[in-house]
Amino acid sequence: MTSLTIGNRLDDQDAAEQSKYDRHNSLTSGHRACQGCGEALAARCVIDAAHRVTGGNIAVVNATGCLEVFSCVYPENSWRVPWLHSLFGNTAAVATGVASAFALAGSKDTRVIAQGGDGSTFDIGLGCLSGMFDRNDDVLYVCYDNQAYMNTGVQRSSATPVFARTATTLPTKGYMGNSIGTGKNVPAIAMAHGIPYVATASIANIRDLEEKISKAILLRGSRYVHVHVPCPLGWGYPPSETIRMARMAVECGLFPLFEAENGVLVGSTPVDNPKPVDDYLRIQRRFAHLFGKNASPDSIEALQQIASRNIEKYRLSGELSHE
Amino acid sequence: MNKPFATVLESATSLQNKTGSWKTVRPEYVNRLPPCNVTCPAGENIQQWLSLAQEGKFFEAWKVVMQNNPFPAVMGRACYHTCEQTCNRGRFDGAVNINLLERSIGDLAITNNWEIEEIGTATGKKVLVIGAGPSCLSAAYFLRKYGHEVTVYERHLEPGGMMRYGVPPYRLPRWVINAEIRRIINTGVKLYCNKRVQNIKNEMRNFDAIYIATGAHVPAKIDVEISGKTNIFDAIDLFKKLEDSRGENTFELGKKVLVYGGGNTAIDAARTALRLGAENVKIIYRRTLEKMPAHDTEIQEALQEGIEVLCLRCISMIDGKKILLDKMDYDAENNLLSKNGDSEVIAADSVIFAVGQFIDSDLFRNVEGLVISEKELLEVDKNMMTGLRGVFAGGDVTPGKRTITDAIGHGKKSAKCIDAYLRGIEVAPNVKTEVANFKKINTSYFKKIEPLKVKKFDDLSFEEKDISLPKEKIISEARRCFSCGNCFHCDNCYGYCPDNAIGKSRDGTLTFNYEYCKGCGICSCECPCGAIKMVSQID
Ligand SMILES: Cc1ncc(C[n+]2csc(CCOP(=O)(O)OP(=O)(O)O)c2C)c(N)n1
Ligand code: SF4
Ligand SMILES: [Mg+2]
């Protein structure tokens, strides 16, 4: 079967970690994530991949947020790896400390992963993160970007896309939701620090995600991987559509997949015949106001431009492709 | 126990939290019916044998074909492959070339002398099959598989019926027919050729059941004024003579040939005429090209060979080499009428009629219980039984589409009904299964791949062009199959489930773990081939 699926009965070589019968299931069943949670899926994929290439020699530090809350409800825990939670904003700093401790104790081979949501990464934890990058501390930081503060009820973060409705950016007359011209780009900020490795990934492309993690975990110094994880509840779409949502974001150019080394873009996944952003936006309640009776073609056009700019900026038309 | 400060409960895993209680719908693995299978008149399980061919298991694939059709190499050539018209891949990048794959696997079976192994335990029941066309031989084969004794009486000198006397050799070489018939005979079928049954009632004394599929070999006649010295043939007679003369060209068709009719037989006749030396062949058809009952691929191939089709014309008079054609048109109510007085004369050396065939009803007239319908067909009930208990019929003598594939399908179905009759049991009803239509396919998981196009004809000879695929090509073309409605072990469900609610064993078997499945439906949504159904938990 010539297909782009996770596994393939006709070709073992090509199978992803997630298709293996003996994958570690680092985040085990019984966690309290919502139905169809993209973040839960991404976290299992990331930690399983790291677990495989390090032979299980990892430790994970987790920021406050959905991922931490749904996986660790006293006295239960869903993690099958050493795992530590401290605060909402200090994950990068805690991970630096954990990495130093392992180094001092002589377990240089133990790899440390810090992980958190977009809120902790883009907003409250950015100072600690920048410090970690600045010192090039030996940590792989993974951000699960669901584009808002989901755990506390869908408030805006600086990763929330423009015009999205959140609890704190409710569209009203003359206000189209999260204002244009706001927000920040943390993958670009990470690149600006010149750290060894920066990559973006999506749960719609699990093989690519696994490849990036498997590579990043074995590097030394600061590494940053940014994973796009749709959220049924916060974005307003049926839970069954999580992967489709992630796929559409990639296919229209709104979520570019790329890799950078030492601050330089080294590869990107080409987007063949980019789809219009409409298809992607239309099926999410957080963008419904762009299509309703007060519809605003300008806002959709503005989002289309962001996608088109990404295609140019990250050279998604193919010249940097490493397919 | 010595617990750390402020902890009261034993630390535990979340596995004790059974999130399965959240769900209102539950995923289930299903086998939906692929559209190719639905349209196959022989009821082949195409998707299943393609799946085996994908793995290079050609013998196993062949055995699956043989479960429903004992003529893979014949069908891989003479079938009009309606399966390809409904193949879901057709709406993506082009249908899987099922016909050519079936032919290639059928040819592998012939070259490797694969034989049928499983014959049912002997029942001691005797069945007579009248005729040795595709329907009869199919019935004979399946009846043997059920364990009955089978005798076949054929009035022609050789078995094969319309495969031999209706399909010209450039489309279906005789070695193929012979090889596949021999294999059926080898299962223990007693075949007697050149034997015409005179009296059905007499035969009923010697057999426990009878299957009649004597076909429709009598050419239809239509009202055309004929005068002068004219070369006129009936397509079906032409084919038969050609066959009996073993391909020797004793016909004097001349250079200009007209064929009258719009079905597949007309196309075959026109292409045969070209091969017999005619230089200018025209098909005359009453309606428009779109209405032609011949299959589109056949029409296209004929056009490519240089055959012309004159539509909306009727032959009204033949006077020596002058043929008078009346022009036809549709009126406002879409009725076909001849345009009064509007006609043309064209010249032709011969005219071949291909305007339909009737059954030879001599055998059935005056047999009490057998009913011949107004349309001159033998009437059967839903279990293929005629008005005479124990006498069944199928193929072209009964109502149907009149293709070899339909005939084979009738043979299979009749054998099942005869078996039930002989055992005194009810015919097992066909289970209705949901169809895996195009909407059920998640095409994000497939790359577009150029479909395999093979030119079937190079020249105008009666020799067949050897286009059967080598093994690697069989595998690669079979791998284009979407596997509609049936799991092909891509592991998407297992890989994407956010709750690890699908288990995979070492051998690849997947099972839902409903204790943790929250019912999100991602697995069903991301299943590339529509093999997971969400079922309501609330009833
Ligand atoms: C210092 C501090 N401020 C606020 C909170 C409340 N809080 C917990 S999780 C969260 C939002 C998390 O958002 P994000 O990091 O994007 O993760 P998500 O839940 O979306 O996965 C907030 C505001 C807190 N725990 N600590
Ligand atoms: S993906 Fe997992 S949780 Fe969702 S319906 Fe399928 S088995 Fe259940
Ligand atoms: Mg978030």
Query: pLDDT, tens digit, for every residue of B404-417?
Result: 999 999 999 999 99
Q: Residue type at A120?
A: S
Q: Which A residues 64-93 touch B at CB under 8 Å?
A: 71, 73-78
With CB atoms and an 8 Å threshold, state whether B495 touches A19: yes
Structure tokens at A104: 């001092």
Q: How far off is chain B from A206, nearest CA to CA, in Å? A: 9
Task: Kindly compute the dihedral angle of the four CA atoms of residues B332, B334, B335, B339, in this order, to the nearest 10 degrees.
Answer: 60
Structure tokens at A262: 């030492």
Q: Is the pLDDT of residue A319 over 70?
A: no
In order, the DSSP letters of B465-506 are P--PPPHHHHHHHHTT---TTS-----HHHHH-TT--EEE-T
Residues with Cβ within 6 A of ligand 1?
A 39, 64-67, 88-89, 116-120, 146, 149-152, 157
pLDDT range class, residue B223, cuts 50, 70, 90: confident
Distance, in Å, from the CA atom of B305 to the CA atom of B349, rounded to the nearest integer, reads: 20
Classify the C-alpha dihedral B471-B476-B477-B478 as positive or negative.
positive
CA–centroid distance, A196 to ligand 1, in Å, is 28
CATH topology of domain B126-218+358-423: FAD/NAD(P)-binding domain (3.50.50)
Which domains, and CATH codes, for chain A?
17-313 (3.40.50.970)
pLDDT range class, residue A207, cuts 50, 70, 90: very high
Q: Which A residues 206-235 touch B at CB under 8 Å?
A: 206, 232
Summarised one tens digit per residue, pLDDT across range A97-145 is: 999 999 999 999 999 999 999 999 999 999 999 999 999 999 999 999 9
CA proximity to B37, closest of B88, B73, B3, B77: B88
CA proximity to B128, closest of B145, B156, B144, B149: B149
pLDDT range class, residue B335, cuts 50, 70, 90: confident
Q: Is residue B521 in contact with ligand 2, taking CB distance under 6 Å?
A: yes
Chain A, chain B: beta-carbon pairs less than 8 Å apart? 161
Q: Residue type at B119?
A: I
Nearest CB to A29; choose among B496, B516, B534: B516
pLDDT range class, residue B1, cuts 50, 70, 90: low
Q: Match 């987790």 to its residue by tokens.
A: A62
Q: b vs e for A66-101, b when ≥16 Cβ sit within 10 Å of the residue's Cβ?
A: bbbbbbbeeebbbbbbebbbbebbbbbbbbbbbbee
Residue B203 burial (CB < 10 Å; 0-12/13-18/19+)? middle
With CB atoms and an 8 Å threshold, state whether B525 touches A35: no
**CB contact at 8 A, A40 and A29:** no
Is the CB of residue A12 less than 8 Å away from at least one CB of chain B? no
With CB atoms and an 8 Å threshold, state whether B498 touches A44: yes
Q: What are the DSSP E strand ranges found in B14-58?
A: 25-29
With CB atoms and an 8 Å threshold, state whether A244 touches B525: yes
Q: Give residues with Cβ within 8 angstroms of B246, minimum separation 6.
A: none
Q: Is the pLDDT of residue A323 over 70?
A: no
Task: Tell me chain A's radius of gyration from C-alpha atoms.
Answer: 19
Q: Is the pLDDT of residue A320 over 80?
A: no
Poorest-pLDDT segment among A89-98, B53-62, B445-454: B445-454
Distance, in Å, from the CA atom of B257 to the CA atom of B247, rounded to the nearest integer, reads: 19
Cis peptide before B134 (omega within 30 of 0): no
Q: Is the pLDDT of residue B179 over 50?
A: yes
Q: Give residues with Cβ within 8 angstroms of A220, minimum separation 6.
A: A138, A196
pLDDT at B24: 96
CA proximity to B310, closest of B328, B335, B337, B331: B328
With CB atoms and an 8 Å threshold, state whether B522 touches A247: no
In order, the DSSP letters of B296-348 are HHHHHHHHHTT-EEE-SEEEEEEETTEEEEEEEEE-TT--EEEEEEEEEEEE-
Domain assignments of chain B as residue spans, ordered by start: 5-31+487-536, 35-115+442-478, 126-218+358-423, 221-354
- Which pTM does this prediction carry? 0.92
Is the CB of residue A28 less than 8 Å away from at least one CB of chain B? yes
Q: Is residue B516 in contact with ligand 2, taking CB distance under 6 Å?
A: no
**CB contact at 8 A, B166 and B272:** no
Q: Is B315 left (phi over 0), alpha (psi -120 to 50) or beta?
A: beta
Is the CB of residue A301 less than 8 Å away from at least one CB of chain B? no
Q: Considering chain B, what percentage of its residues have pLDDT values greater than 70?
A: 99
Q: Match 């598989």 to its residue by tokens.
A: B145
Is the CB of residue A33 less than 8 Å away from at least one CB of chain B? yes
Q: What is the CATH number of domain B5-31+487-536?
A: 3.30.70.20
Suggest the residue from B23, B488, B500, B512 to mutate for an interface test with chain A (most A CBs closer than 10 A).
B500
Residue in B with minimal Cα distance to A35 = B520
Q: How far is CA B350 from CA B150, B220, B233, B276, B526, in A?
A: 44, 18, 8, 12, 61
Q: b vs e for B23-53, b when ≥16 Cβ sit within 10 Å of the residue's Cβ?
A: bebbbebbebbbbbbbbbbbbbbbbbbbbbb
pLDDT range class, residue A322, cuts 50, 70, 90: low
CA proximity to B394, closest of B367, B414, B377, B415: B414
pLDDT range class, residue B539, cuts 50, 70, 90: low
Task: Tell me chain B's radius of gyration from C-alpha atoms.
Answer: 28
pLDDT higher at A321 or B13: B13
Domains B35-115+442-478 and B126-218+358-423 in one fold: no
CATH class of B221-354: alpha beta
CA proximity to B72, closest of B44, B113, B30, B39: B44
Distance, in Å, from the CA atom of B500 to the CA atom of A25, rounded to the nearest integer, reads: 7
CATH topology of domain B35-115+442-478: Fumarate Reductase Iron-sulfur Protein; Chain B, domain 2 (1.10.1060)
Considering only CA atoms, which residue is closest to atom 4 of ligand 1?
A88
